[in-house]
Each structure stands twice: as C-alpha cells, then as structure tokens.
Structure 1
C-alpha cells in the first residue's frame, strides 16, 4: 500500500512534470473508482494543472478551480507516460482505472492490481468534500507537530494499542501498515502496547522514530521516477515484509502476527523482550 512517503514522492514527481500543463482528455475505465458525479470528470478538460498537494495518503491535483483527488488504496499506483497511446483505452479486466492525458501528449495512468477494487477518484470543488480528507488527523511531518502534540494524542488514545494508533488516519495522517511496523521497531516498542502505558522516555523514543523513519523514507524517495518508488520502499524496510529473516539490529528472527486481512512484522528481541506475540486475529486493530 502506498503510504505518506511514496505519495509525497509522487507529488513532487508530478509537480516537475504535470504542473503548468493542460488536461486534454480523461478516460475512466473502472467506473467503480469514481466516487463523485458532480462536477463530472470531463469538467477538467481544458483546465491547467496548477498545483499538486498531499493530504495524508490522498494525492490532490488542483486543476483550474477543481480538485482531482485520488487514494491509491492497497494495490493502486500511478504510472507516468511521456507519450500516451493515441487509441483510447476501453473498459476491461486490465489494471487500468483512469487515464489522464495532458496537452503535450504525456500523462499518467491510475492502475490497481488484484481483484479488489478500492482505488478511489474524486472530482470536487474543495478537498474537504472528500470524507477521508475531512476526518484526517495531523500530518506527523508537519513543522508544528512536536513532541507535546504527539504526547497529547497518545494520552487521548488511552488503552488503544500502538499499532492501531499509528495506523488510524483520524489520529495521524499518512501512516500505514508498513511504516508503523518500521517505526515501532526503531522505537523498540511492542505493537500491542497500550498508548497510555508509555513512559516519558518511551514517548521520546516513539516520537523520534516517527519523525526519523518517515523523514528518511521521503528523503530516500526524493527524485526517483514513479516506477522506482515501490522498490525503494521495500529495500528500506528492516522488519516489514521480512518474516523469517534476521533482524538487522540484533540478528533475531523477524516474526509475524496475522490478521483477517493483513499482518504485522516485529523483532521479538528488539521489541517484546524476546517473547513472541500471540497470533490473535484482531482485525479491528488494523482498521
């Protein structure tokens, strides 16, 4: 799933290539992806791409007075093309969901792998019209998101487990399954520990890990082409997606906890005092 660092890199990638260009044509091939009907998608035609912003995991293209917003969900991606095919695409079972063609012939495809169709596209006058954006928590890389603000969030979360707190978009914007695993590993904290059970020193560690892991991921992805971002994300992971491999910090074997529709990875030595976590299928944790 693309998370904040990848979406931020896509934002800067599009600023360099799409800003100042005019939308010549759009082709919707996965009709379930479009979540709004007014304004229509073709209202973007002939309008200039003025700016590209990010709201958590949402990518926002300001086009004229409108906003073309997408959430890539678990299996979505943006694929840039320097030259788009002349022939319009047809609805089919291929991964293409939306094609945006610019006035110089370049553009991008929004694609989604797999059978689940959760990629979402919106055309709105105001980003706040998108439900997921309207309820977003603070951006953890914002300049004003300091340790005091983070401690207040943890206190308000009460007994909620840290893994769930980090992933809840209404609490913190932009962090998903992968980077929450990495942040907790760097902070040497159990994903199941209650937010209200942290000591001051543990809160310091978690805040520092939060800022460092996300900041480093953004820096590593800076300047990469869109097609290279997935590989960069995977290569930078120490525990996420590395079940059975040695922890790069202590050498212990990375363990996994499975859920109904996902899983988390952690190092028992670094994070849980050497004790394996029970493989509890608590799907509510990963909502």
Structure 2
C-alpha cells in the first residue's frame, strides 16, 4: 500500500507533470471506483490544473475553477503516467485499469488496481473536506507545526498498542503497516507496547524516529518516476517484509506476527529484548 512517503513523491511527480495543463476527459473504467456523482466528471473537461495536494494518503488534483479530483490508492492501487495515452476509449473489463485521466496534449495517467478486492476510491468534490476519509484525518506527522508535545497529547490515554495507534488515520495521517514497522524498529520499541504507558523518553524517541523515518523515505523517493517508487520503498525497508532475514542493525533474525489478513515484522534483538512475540492470528489488538 502506498503510504505517506510514496504519496508525497507522487504529489511531487504530478505537480511537475500536471500543473498548468488542461484536462480533456476523466473516464471511469471500473464500476466501483467513482464514489461521487455531483459534480459529474464532465465538469472537469477544459479545467486547468492549478495545484496538487496530499492529505494523508489521499491525492488531490485541484483545478482553477475550484474542483478537486481526490483519490486514494488503497492497498493495491497505483498511478501509471503515460506521455502518450492509448487512442480510443478504454473498455470496462476484468483488467487492472480503474480510471483514466486524459490531458489535451495527449498525455495523462491511469489509476490501476490489482487483485479482486476493489478499494481504490475516486471523488470529485468542491471541497476536499467533503471526502469522509479526509474529514476525519489526524495531523500530518511531517507538518512543520506538529511538535513533540502534540504527539504526546495524541497518545495520552490511548488504550491501544502502539502499532495500532500509529496506523490509525484519524490519530495520525499517512502511516500504514510498512512504515509503522520501520518507525518502531528505529525507536527500538515493541509493537505490543501500550501507547498510554510510554514514558517521556520513549515518547521523544518515538516522535524522532517517526519524523526521521518518514522524512528519509520522502527524500529517497523525491524525484523518482512514478513507476520506480515501489521498488525504492522496498529497498529502503529494514524490517517490514523481511521475515527470516538478518536485522541490518543487530543481525538477529527478523520475526513476523500475523493478524486479521495482515502481518507485522520486528527484530527481537532491537525491539523486545530477545523475546518472541505471540502470533495472535485472530487478534483484535492490532487493527
């Protein structure tokens, strides 16, 4: 799933490729992709792109006449830029293509989604806050005004384990499964640690690990073509997706815990004092 660093890099990429260009047509291909009907997608035709914004994991293409094409790539979605779009109208089918945005110059981009579970969501709104997922977002962890005290206030009284808290978009926007693993590894903290039980030094260490991990990933991704972002993300991960491999910090074998169709990875040497965490496959603790 694209998370804050990849979505920020896509924002940069689209800002460079879309700003000032005119939209010719936006064509939904998958039935499930479009979540709004007013205004209609035809309202975008002839509109000039004035800005590209990021809200957590949402991308927001704004036009000069006040419309916002907002999309969330979900777990298996991606953006494919094309300098020359295929001629003719795309046909609905069983392929990955979900939506095509064509520019008057002949270039544009496709939104695609792999797999059979379709969660990629596109909204056309006059105000991004009309999108429910944006309206309930918590603060951006890389925002200039988001300080250590703000982070501590969010965690105060938080009953969940820290892994689940970091992934909650209404608490902190933009962090998903992969970067929560990476942040906790950098902070040398167990994913099972209760957020409300963190000491002052632990909060400081976690805050710094969060900011540093995300900022470093953004730096590595910035300037890359959209098609190269997935491989860059994977190459920079230290624990996530590396079950059975040695930890690059201490050499201990990286372990995995599975839960509710997903999993987390951690290093016992760096994060749990050598203890192995119980594999709570049906756990509700790490939603």
Question: How does the TM-score come out when normalised to structure 1?
Answer: 0.98
| C-alpha distance in structure 1 between counterparts of 2:253 and 2:166, whole Å | 24
Say if 2:205 is the partner of 1:205: yes
Contact 1:167 1:286 in 2 (8 A): no
CA RMSD of aligned residues (A): 0.9
The unaligned stretches of length 5 or more in structure 1 are none
Task: Give the drift of 1:203.
Answer: 1.1
Equivalent runs, 1:33-72 vs 2, <5 Å: 33-63=33-63, 64-72=65-73
| Compared CA separation, residues 41 and 214, structure 1 to 2 (3 A) | same
Q: Deviations over 1:208-242 (max 9, x none)?
A: 10000000000000100000000000000000000
1:135 corresponds to which residue? 136
In the alignment, which residue of structure 2 is the partner of 1:239?
239
* Correspondence for 2:261: 261
Q: 1:107 to 1:281 in 2, by over 3 A?
A: same
2:249 counterpart residue number:
249
Distance in 2 (CA, whole Å) between partners of 1:254 and 1:42 is 50
Structure 2-normalised TM-score? Answer: 0.98
> Can you list the C-alpha shifts for 1:43-82, whole angstroms capped at 9, x where unaligned?
1111011100000000000023110000000000000000
Does structure 2 retain, via aligned residues, the 8 Å contact 1:26–1:101?
A: yes
Alignment of 1:6-155 (within 5 A): 6-63=6-63, 64-155=65-156
Shift of residue 286 of structure 1?
4.4
TM-fit CA distance, 1:283:
5.2
What is the CA–CA distance in structure 2 between the aligned matches of 1:286 and 1:250, rounded to whole Å? 26
Q: After TM superposition, what 4+ stretches of structure 1 lie above 4 angstroms from structure 2?
A: none
CA distance in 1, matches of 2:285, 2:117: 21
> Residues 24 and 258 (structure 1 numbering): CA distance in 2 closer, same or farther, change over 3 Å?
same
